[in-house]
Amino acid sequence: MVNLRHQYVAVVAGGAKSYLHIEGPYEQVVRVDCYHFIPEAQTVMLHLATKLNFSRHVLPTFVPENENVTDSECLAVGQDKYGRTKTLRVHLNTTNCSGERVRCYHKDLKQPYYHHESCYTPEATRSGVIVCKTSRSGWYPVGFYQHKRGLCGFNEIVRVISLVESYEKIQNVLHNEQCGGHLYPEPPCAGKRCRYGKCVGERLLCDRKPDCADGSDEDPGLCATRNQTGSK
């Protein structure tokens, strides 16, 4: 379990594709200062220290009060070995599914057999999310899947951990402050905090070996200031 007193956790929204390993022009990085666990949904809700600025690159999700299954368009969302987002149109399967808080989905039968080389590589993700939307709503999450063949598993039936039964609980968390007086301040960092949260100690700053992904710990301005301070 994460301890926010000592560990720095951040959310990246609107970022570039992860496989590029670069900072995106529309990227927002916000620290997490509290979290709330919903055990029955196996879900953790994160509270952000500052609000995100919504744009066409950063959009809020949608949680319906009542789900309209008959008017839903659904996608299974996953990633390939390069971190690229892949989607597959799927349908709810109610005939061959059993289990509490479980839903089952399979690919759209009108689509050909889904075969993608990234499904069968060790690097490809095995888990992802099912999102749906209706003619009156935006996309909203309905559950999480985990399958040894990733998106290719939807050629058959995939069991999904359902969020739908927990919508009321999620709405309650959203509408009522759950953190109270437990908003954690940023953990101390004796050195420099990188953009994505890594703490670089004083001894590693300006050592001609970048430790931050963006190389900010070797920034000429920072190093010049440190040299001036050290020479006094």
* Residue 29 and residue 22 in contact, taking contact as beta carbons nearer than 8 Å: no
153 and 73 within one domain? yes
Residues 127 and 78 in one domain: yes
pLDDT at residue 49, as a whole number: 92
In a shared domain, residues 75 and 152: yes
Residue 63 burial (CB < 10 Å; 0-12/13-18/19+)? middle
**Same domain as 171, residue 94:** no
Whether 182 and 141 map to the same domain: the answer is no
CATH code where residue 208 lies: 4.10.400
Residue linked to tokens 């809700």: 45
Residue 90: per-residue pLDDT: 93
Asked if residue 91 and residue 146 are part of one domain, the reply reads: yes
Look up the domain containing 31 and give its range: 1-60+166-187
Residues 218 and 146 occupy one common structural domain: no
pLDDT for the residue numbered 231: 55
179 and 154 housed in the same domain? no
Contact between 76 and 105 under an 8 Å Cβ cutoff? The reply is yes
- Number of Cα atoms under 13 Å in the Cβ half of residue 116: 21
Residue 175 sits in the same domain as residue 155: no
Q: What is the pLDDT of residue 37?
A: 86
Q: Are 58 and 25 in contact (CB under 8 A)?
A: no
Residues 110 and 175 in one domain: no
CATH label of the domain that carries residue 110 = 2.40.10
Q: Which two tokens stand for residue 189?
A: 């960092």
The letter for the amino acid at 17 is K
Kindly state whether residues 87 and 157 are assigned to the same domain. yes
The pTM is what? 0.74
Low-confidence ranges of the chain (pLDDT < 70): 16-22, 66-71, 81, 83, 116-118, 120-125, 177, 180, 229-232
pLDDT tens digits for range 148-175 = 888 888 888 999 988 888 888 888 887 7
Same domain, residue pair 100 and 82 = yes
Contact by Cβ (8 Å): 202, 190: yes
How is residue 8 written in tokens?
């720095």
196 and 12 Cβ atoms separated by less than 8 Å:
yes
pLDDT value at residue 211? 95
The two three-digit tokens of residue 187, written as one number: 């953990």
DSSP, residue by residue, the chain: ---TTT---EEEESPPPGGG-S--TT-EEEEEEEEEEEGGGTEEEEEESS-----SSS------SS--GGG-EEEEEEE-TTS-EEEEEEEE--SS--STTEEEEEE-TTSPP---GGGGSTTS-SEEEEEEE-TTS--EEEEEEE-TTGGGGGGS-EEEEE-GGGHHHHHHHHHS-S-TT-PPPPPP-SEEE-TTSPEEEGGGTTSSS--STT-GGG-HHHHHHHHHHHH-
CA 67 to CA 73: how far, in whole Å? 12
Q: How many domains does the chain have?
A: 3
**Distance, CA of 183 to CA of 231 (rounded, Å):** 40
